[in-house]
Amino acid sequence: MGALILVVVTFVGYLIAYHTYGRFLARKIFRLDGSAQVPSVRLADGVDYVPTKKGIIFGHHYTSIAGTGPIVGPAIGIIWGWVPAVIWVFVGAIVMGAVHDFGALIVSMRNDGKSLSEVAERYIGRRARTIFFLVVFLELSIVIAIFGVVIASIFARFPRSVFPIWFQIPIAVALGAWVYRWKANVAAATAVAVLAMYGTVVLSHVLEGLAFTMPALAVGGSELLPATGVWIVILLLYAYVASTLPVTVLLQPRDYINAWQLFIAMGLLVLGVAASAFTGALQIVAPAYNASPAGAPPIWPFLGVTIACGAISGFHCLVSSGTTSKQVRCETDAQFVGYGSMLMESALAVLILVTVAAGIGMAYQVEGGEVLTGVAAWNAHYASWDAAGGLDSKVEAVVRGAANMLGSIGIPKAVGVIIMGVFIASFAGTTLDTATRIQRYVISELATSFRLGVLTNRWVATAIAVGGAGALAFGTGASGKGALTLWPMFGAVNQLLAALALLLITIYLRRRGGWGYLLTLGPCLFMLVLTVWAMVMKEIEFFAKPVSETFPAYQKYILIILNAGTLLLSLALAVEAFIHIARPRASAT
């Protein structure tokens, strides 16, 4: 029953936090005004600035920030024990992550929907904008490249997920046309779209021919691209097209039905937890606290940079100030979209923690076919940091654990595996095209400032965004997995960006007057210390690690240079920002 109690207590806690602390922030700190003109209305262009119903924009925002972050992070961070992981996710989301997302959304909405890079110039200075841009550009390039690898890996490991994932595109386009062009009832259209989406899951299970495995690309008998490389090229081309279309054509409707997919998947997981807990089949088999997992770095600061999206994530501020701020139709919707969606993502992270802390113990098949249960199953998967740390390992733990729990409510394990594979790949896909669109915004904004007119064109800016990610992906070979070279520093860079966003929000609130800025300054200082600590430790590790066949010299020096450069630039920005906090300018708007 421990797993069920954990879910109930945390979910009730999120509801209380939304209606107390979230409402306090909305009314007293950010002072939301339902009559204020917002960018989606004032600058409406039908492409990026589109006033959107609260429920639809919530779906877009939620699925864009979620991605695989609240899935992958908890699946590896639990190696230090389920108690510290749950505390970090639950408390972190309420007092840091949701405040960060909500604040970034409001600050952007009150500055014409501009990205935080542009907002930094207004509140700190031109140099600050350039530093912010460099950090954001690196973050987004890694996100686009890595999420392409994530999806390609899921397609390779779960071939029955391929058909449902790609068929979501025509379903989403049809939904968008039905709602926006033919003014269909949103509830009815949603029901049809979601049923069609789950219909593809059933078809993929029933029809053997729909299990698709991508062949390698060969020319003249020689392999030009392996299967993963082919998938990444296709996914980058998709991201290019998807991120240049008007948001109402594909982005909004796809994210919206993916949000419903998530709600249904979360509902099924909750039912699975309840059913398997009441039968006694579900027991938490992960240790409550594991101070020294084999080969793992110390729990602090690395728990805070390993479990990112479920507690706080810098990528979220890019979505808040990138696509979402251009679509929220009134300020009072921002609490639901910004604060509420982060709590929902944290709730998802709790469910993922349960799947790997307890679900994996119901049945876990090891090489050779033996099926382990209980603590033996946990130990087999989390024997060491290296064993649990690979991308495939993270996804495998979640999918298998969740499929076990879904089996408790009568869903065949094979179908449960497809549902979870589609679920994870769908969210990676929404993050992929949203990140590409945001990168285009950032490039266009910087080009406008430097009067580089050709780069403001959305087709050209998107080509740069996709090209940069492609260079990272294929930088070390045709497999397309080159971006994983930067994975060791990605978590820290992501959390450092969250600290910098909180710093900017703090300056905004400080200039408006009152003491409300202290509510963001505290989390900002905590995250700044945490991430600088982690990046310094990673720098020492990169220097000390010997060059080998699996860690070539070029990879070593790329990590050393990028990690050190990002750290120094961010510290320079932090110093400049703290000077502004100490000496506020005129009142902000």
Mean local confidence (pLDDT), 217-234: 82
Q: Is 470 exposed, middle or buried (0-12, 13-18, 19+ CB in 10 A)?
A: buried
Mean local confidence (pLDDT), 519-534: 93
Q: How many CB atoms lie within 10 A of CB 415?
A: 19
pLDDT at 219 (0 to 100):
75
Rounded Cα distance between 453 and 444, Å, is 9
Mean local confidence (pLDDT), 115-122: 86
pLDDT tier at 551, thresholds 50, 70, 90: confident
Least confident of 257-261, 393-397, 417-421, 528-532: 393-397
| More reliable by pLDDT, 113 or 396 | 113
pLDDT tier at 488, thresholds 50, 70, 90: low
Task: Please determine, for residue 476, whether its predicted confidence score (pLDDT) is greater than 70.
Answer: no
Domain ranges of the chain: 2-47+55-214+226-582
Task: Please determine, for residue 17, whether its predicted confidence score (pLDDT) is greater than 60.
Answer: yes
Task: Please determine, for residue 497, whether its predicted confidence score (pLDDT) is greater than 60.
Answer: yes
pLDDT at 549 (0 to 100):
76
Rounded Cα distance between 499 and 377, Å, is 37
pLDDT at 391 (0 to 100):
59
pLDDT at 387 (0 to 100):
65
Residue 67 half-sphere exposure, CB side, CA atoms within 13 Å? 25
Task: Please determine, for residue 584, whether its predicted confidence score (pLDDT) is greater than 70.
Answer: no
| Structure-block tokens of residue 21 | 């602390």
What is the share, in percent, of the chain residues with pLDDT greater than 70?
Answer: 94
pLDDT tier at 390, thresholds 50, 70, 90: low
Mean local confidence (pLDDT), 268-280: 86
Rounded Cα distance between 207 and 137, Å, is 43
Q: Residue 254 corresponds to which amino acid?
A: R
Mean local confidence (pLDDT), 69-89: 90
Residue found by looking up tokens 């860690």 in the block: 551
Question: If you compute the radius of gyration of the chain from its CA atoms, what whole number of angstroms results?
Answer: 23
Distance of CA 449 to the CA centre of its chain: 29
| Structure-block tokens of residue 320 | 């808040």
pLDDT tier at 266, thresholds 50, 70, 90: confident
What is the pTM (predicted TM-score) of this model?
0.89
CA distances from 265 to 38, 109, 167, 316, 422 (A): 33, 32, 18, 22, 10
pLDDT at 145 (0 to 100):
82
Nearest CA to 240 out of 148, 113, 136 is that of 148
Residue found by looking up tokens 């100490």 in the block: 582
Distance of CA 379 to the CA centre of its chain: 28
| More reliable by pLDDT, 307 or 380 | 307
